[in-house]
Amino acid sequence: MPVRIPDSHSTAGAAYTYIVRAASCVFGAALEPIMSFTQPPASAHLSPPGVSLPKVTMPALAEMKRQGKPISALTAYDYPTARLADEAGIDLILVGDSLAMVVLGHENTLAVTVDEMLHHTRAVHRAVRRALVVADMPFGSYHGAIAEALSSAVRFVKEAGAEAVKIEGPRVELVRALVEAEIPVVGHLGLTPQSVHRMGGYRVQARTAEAARRLRADALALAQAGAGAIVLEGVPREAAAEITAALPIPTIGIGAGPGCDGQILVFHDLVNLTFAPPAKFVRRYADAAALFRSAIERYREDVEHRAFPSDAESYHLPARQAMGAAAPDADFDSDNAVVNRDAFEDWTN
Ligand code: KIV
């Protein structure tokens, strides 16, 4: 998790428009209208017939390491961004506890709860077809008894569709217990943001040869306990490269240089939705803040100048149905006049 000033208003938004058919129209004329609403039907996201997506699994990540294929990973916390990441071919989508900061506006990752993480993991799971979905176990959910940690992890798999969980620190016994319970685990070593108070801030870790050797020993222990991959965060690139070479499982780096088997970034860092200067390791690929700000400002101006909506964006009464006319609404079909998001008809004349 990158070092950042908390951002309180950073929830990304997105909308989808779908064209569907409606069966009838209010005033009796047979129409085949265009319908637009903001939530796609579940069926809209199925692969075309005959196309099967090669699902990314934990063993597939190990195979990518063997073949020297870089693993792309990104965080996502909601349906639209997870769907975009998946459709863009990202291999691993992490529902990171960074959501506490970048989505919920907390100062650090410590406050987010299991229930909040489950809520967002479900949304991501609904969007993803190909990528491996990994859920972060939040602070406090795995720091006590192993049995308690196990039952929290089971919830992520059973209730939210996670295919692996991520835990911070060299918790070898817990990793072993999770793997024995058939729950794949991604470890997380180096700068572990849930240890912010112990570390005294977000600091690059393993800066001496001795500390780097300890980190390598921890990584090997996690691999031996059955972890399927390890996130290495905030460590010198030389240490990360050596650890990567020593490990039989993939490393996924964030602020750990180019020598890891894969890379992960926080979605909001990638597209500039963090309201803070980026950390050194972040590369901004887009300026969503500028894009969204300008769209919202133009919308507000249009509303204020009565330039939105236009006539073309309005529904019309048929010419024969002037509101002042005395004629009864003989052909008004009240059943079809119900306006709701699932059946919103186009009343064009
Ligand atoms: O919560 C998070 O976003 C992470 C990082 C590894 C990206 O743990």
Q: Which residue's CA lies nearest to atom 1 of ligand 1?
A: 96
CA of 231 to the centre of ligand 1 (A): 8
pLDDT, tens only, 98-140: 999 999 999 999 999 999 999 999 999 999 999 999 999 999 9
pTM beyond 0.85: the answer is: no
Q: What is the mean pLDDT of residues 284-290?
A: 98
What's the rounded Cα separation, in Å, for the pair 163 and 28? 50
269 lines ligand 1 (CB under 6 A): no
Q: Could you tell me the residue ranges of all domains in the chain?
A: 54-291
Note the pLDDT of residue 8.
32
CA of 146 to the centre of ligand 1 (A): 23
Identify the residue whose tokens are 């569907």.
20
Task: Give the closest residue to 249 by CA, choosing from 262, 264, 237.
Answer: 262
Note the pLDDT of residue 26.
28
Rg of the chain over Cα atoms, rounded to whole angstroms, equals: 25
Known catalytic residues?
A: 233
Helices 172-180 and 209-225: crossing angle, nearest 10°? 20
Tell me how far CA of residue 215 lies from CA of 219, 233, 336, in angstroms. Answer: 6, 11, 66
CA of 69 to the centre of ligand 1 (A): 21
CA of 224 to the centre of ligand 1 (A): 23
CATH of region 54-291? 3.20.20.60
Note the pLDDT of residue 166.
98
165 lines ligand 1 (CB under 6 A): no
Beta strand residue intervals within 279-343, DSSP E: none
Note the pLDDT of residue 319.
77
Identify the residue whose tokens are 């319908």.
35
Q: What is the mean pLDDT of residues 283-289?
A: 98
255 lines ligand 1 (CB under 6 A): no
* Structure-model confidence comparison of residues 143 and 332, the more confident one: 143
pLDDT, tens only, 233-248: 999 999 999 999 999 9
Report the range of poorest mean pLDDT among 21-25, 71-75, 126-130, 223-227. Answer: 21-25
Which pLDDT band holds residue 298 (cuts at 50, 70, 90)?
Answer: very high
Identify the residue whose tokens are 């572990």.
192
10 lines ligand 1 (CB under 6 A): no
232 lines ligand 1 (CB under 6 A): no
Mutate to test the pocket of ligand 1, among 106, 124, 194, 231 (most ligand atoms within 8 A of CB): 231
Mutate to test the pocket of ligand 1, among 3, 71, 74, 75 (most ligand atoms within 8 A of CB): 75
* Structure-model confidence comparison of residues 142 and 29, the more confident one: 142
Helix (H, G, I), strand (E, B) or coil at 57: coil
Is the pLDDT assigned to residue 3 strictly greater than 50? no
Q: Which two tokens stand for residue 92?
A: 């691993």
Q: Which residue's CA lies nearest to atom 6 of ligand 1?
A: 1
CA of 248 to the centre of ligand 1 (A): 22
Helix (H, G, I), strand (E, B) or coil at 219: helix
Q: Which residue's CA lies nearest to atom 2 of ligand 1?
A: 96
pLDDT, tens only, 18-62: 222 222 322 233 333 344 444 444 444 555 444 557 999 999 999
Ligand 1 atom nearest 73 alpha carbon = 7
- Check if the beta carbon of residue 6 is closer than 8 Å to that of residue 273: no
98 lines ligand 1 (CB under 6 A): yes
Q: Which residue's CA lies nearest to atom 5 of ligand 1?
A: 1
Is the pLDDT assigned to residue 308 strictly greater than 50? yes
Tell me how far CA of residue 172 lies from CA of 73, 167, 185, 279, in angstroms. Answer: 24, 10, 11, 30
Average pLDDT, the chain: 85
